[in-house]
Chain A
Amino acid sequence: MSITAETAKQHANDPAVLCCRAEEGTVLAPSNFEDPAIFPDLIDSGLLNTDGALKLGQVLNGSKLTKTVDSLTPITPDIIDKYDELEGEEEAPAEEAAPAEEAPVAAPAATLAPVVGGTIKLHIGEGKNIDIELPAGLGGGAVAAPAAAPVAAGAAEAAAPAEQEEKVVRTLSRRHLRIDKVERGPETKIENHVLYIEEGIEEKAVESEKLVQSLKIDVITPDNYHTYSETIMDIQPIATKEGEAELGEGVTRVLDGVLMVVSGTDANGVQIGEFGSSEGYIDENMMWGRPGAADKGETLIKTEVVIDAGKNMERPGPIAAHKATDVITDAIRKALKKVDESEFEADLEEFKQVRRPGKKKVVVIKEIMGQGAMHDNFLFPVEPVGTLGAKPNVDMGNVPIAASPLEVLDGCIHALTCIGPASKEMSRHYWREPLVLEALHDPELDLCGVIFVGSPQANSEKFYVSRRLGQMVELLDVDGAFVTTEGFGNNHVDFVTHIENIGKRGIPVVGFSFCAAQGALVVGNKYCNAMIDNNKSMSGIENEVLECNTLCPEDAVRGVAMLKAEMAGEEVKAPERKYNVNVKTNNLELIEKATGKKIETVENEQSLPMSEKRREKYD
Chain B
Amino acid sequence: MKYGDKIIRVEGVIVEVHDGAIGIDLKGRLGYLEVPVRMVISDYPFEVGQTVAWNMSFIEQEGPEVDEKYVSRLNIYTQKRRDIAAKKKDKEED
Binding site for B on A (CB under 8 A): 228, 265, 267-270, 274-275, 279-280, 284, 313-315, 369, 371-375, 418-419, 455, 457-460, 487, 489-491, 493, 522, 610-614, 616-617
Binding site for A on B (CB under 8 A): 18-21, 35-45, 62-63, 65-69, 73, 76-77, 80-81, 83-85, 88
Contacts of B65 in A (CB 8 A): 613, 616-617
Check A419 against B38 for contact (C-beta < 8 Å).
yes
Known: A228-B76, A275-B21, A373-B18. A459 touches B39 (CB 8 A): no
Task: Write the chain B residue with the least CB distance to A489.
Answer: B38
Contacts of A419 in B (CB 8 A): 36, 38
Check A279 against B77 for contact (C-beta < 8 Å).
yes
Check A269 against B80 for contact (C-beta < 8 Å).
yes
Check A610 against B69 for contact (C-beta < 8 Å).
yes
Known: A375-B37, A613-B68. A313 touches B80 (CB 8 A): no
For the residues of B in contact with A, the DSSP-based class is mixed
Taken together as a complex, chains A and B put the C-alpha atoms of A275 and B44 apart, in Å, by 23
Check B67 against A375 for contact (C-beta < 8 Å).
no
Contacts of B45 in A (CB 8 A): 458
Check A269 against B38 for contact (C-beta < 8 Å).
no
Task: Write the chain A residue with the least CB distance to B43.
Answer: A459
Check B73 against A280 for contact (C-beta < 8 Å).
yes
Task: Write the chain A residue with the least CB distance to B38.
Answer: A489
Contacts of A313 in B (CB 8 A): 18-21
Check A373 against B67 for contact (C-beta < 8 Å).
no
How near does chain A come to B17, taking the closest CB pair, in angstroms?
10
Check B36 against A375 for contact (C-beta < 8 Å).
yes
Task: Write the chain B residue with the least CB distance to A313.
Answer: B18
Check A490 against B73 for contact (C-beta < 8 Å).
no
Task: Write the chain B residue with the least CB distance to A455.
Answer: B38
CB contact between A369 and one of B35, B38, B66, B77 (< 8 Å): that residue = B38
Known: A279-B77, A617-B63. A372 touches B37 (CB 8 A): yes
Contacts of B36 in A (CB 8 A): 275, 371, 375, 418-419, 489
Contacts of A275 in B (CB 8 A): 21, 35-36
Taken together as a complex, chains A and B put the C-alpha atoms of A460 and B45 apart, in Å, by 11
Known: A268-B81, A268-B84, A373-B18. A617 touches B67 (CB 8 A): yes
CB contact between A613 and one of B19, B39, B66, B84 (< 8 Å): that residue = B66
Check B38 against A613 for contact (C-beta < 8 Å).
no
Taken together as a complex, chains A and B put the C-alpha atoms of A616 and B69 apart, in Å, by 12
CB contact between A457 and one of B38, B66, B67, B81 (< 8 Å): that residue = B38
Check A487 against B38 for contact (C-beta < 8 Å).
yes
Taken together as a complex, chains A and B put the C-alpha atoms of A103 and B49 apart, in Å, by 49
Known: A268-B81, A611-B69. A315 touches B19 (CB 8 A): yes
- Beyond the given pairs A372-B19, A491-B38, 12 more chain A to chain B contacts, judged by CB atoms under 8 angstroms and listed by A's residue number, are A267-B84, A269-B80, A275-B35, A284-B69, A314-B20, A371-B20, A371-B37, A375-B20, A419-B38, A458-B43, A459-B41, A611-B69
Known: A313-B20, A374-B20, A457-B42. A611 touches B77 (CB 8 A): no
Check B69 against A280 for contact (C-beta < 8 Å).
yes
Check B41 against A522 for contact (C-beta < 8 Å).
yes
Taken together as a complex, chains A and B put the C-alpha atoms of A459 and B40 apart, in Å, by 10
Taken together as a complex, chains A and B put the C-alpha atoms of A419 and B21 apart, in Å, by 11
CB contact between B19 and one of A314, A458, A616 (< 8 Å): that residue = A314
CB contact between B67 and one of A265, A371, A613 (< 8 Å): that residue = A613
Q: List 15 A–B pairs whose Cβ atoms lie within 8 Å, in order of A's numbering.
A: A265-B80, A274-B21, A275-B21, A279-B77, A313-B21, A314-B18, A314-B19, A371-B36, A455-B38, A491-B38, A613-B68, A614-B69, A617-B63, A617-B65, A617-B67
Contacts of B69 in A (CB 8 A): 280, 284, 610-611, 613-614
Check A418 against B20 for contact (C-beta < 8 Å).
yes
Known: A313-B18, A374-B20. A279 touches B41 (CB 8 A): no
Taken together as a complex, chains A and B put the C-alpha atoms of A489 and B65 apart, in Å, by 30
Task: Write the chain A residue with the least CB distance to B21.
Answer: A313
Among the interface residues A267, A315, A371, A375, which one has the most CB atoms of the partner chain B within 10 A?
A371
Taken together as a complex, chains A and B put the C-alpha atoms of A610 and B40 apart, in Å, by 32
Known: A280-B73, A458-B45, A613-B66. A490 touches B39 (CB 8 A): yes
Taken together as a complex, chains A and B put the C-alpha atoms of A373 and B36 apart, in Å, by 10
Taken together as a complex, chains A and B put the C-alpha atoms of A393 and B36 apart, in Å, by 18
Check B20 against A315 for contact (C-beta < 8 Å).
yes
How near does chain A come to B70, taking the closest CB pair, in angstroms?
8
Contacts of B62 in A (CB 8 A): 617
How near does chain A come to B71, taking the closest CB pair, in angstroms?
9
How near does chain B come to A569, taking the closest CB pair, in angstroms?
35
CB contact between A458 and one of B44, B63, B68 (< 8 Å): that residue = B44
Contacts of A268 in B (CB 8 A): 81, 84-85
CB contact between A493 and one of B41, B63, B67, B76 (< 8 Å): that residue = B41
Taken together as a complex, chains A and B put the C-alpha atoms of A438 and B77 apart, in Å, by 41
Contacts of A371 in B (CB 8 A): 20, 36-38
Taken together as a complex, chains A and B put the C-alpha atoms of A228 and B77 apart, in Å, by 10
Check A373 against B63 for contact (C-beta < 8 Å).
no
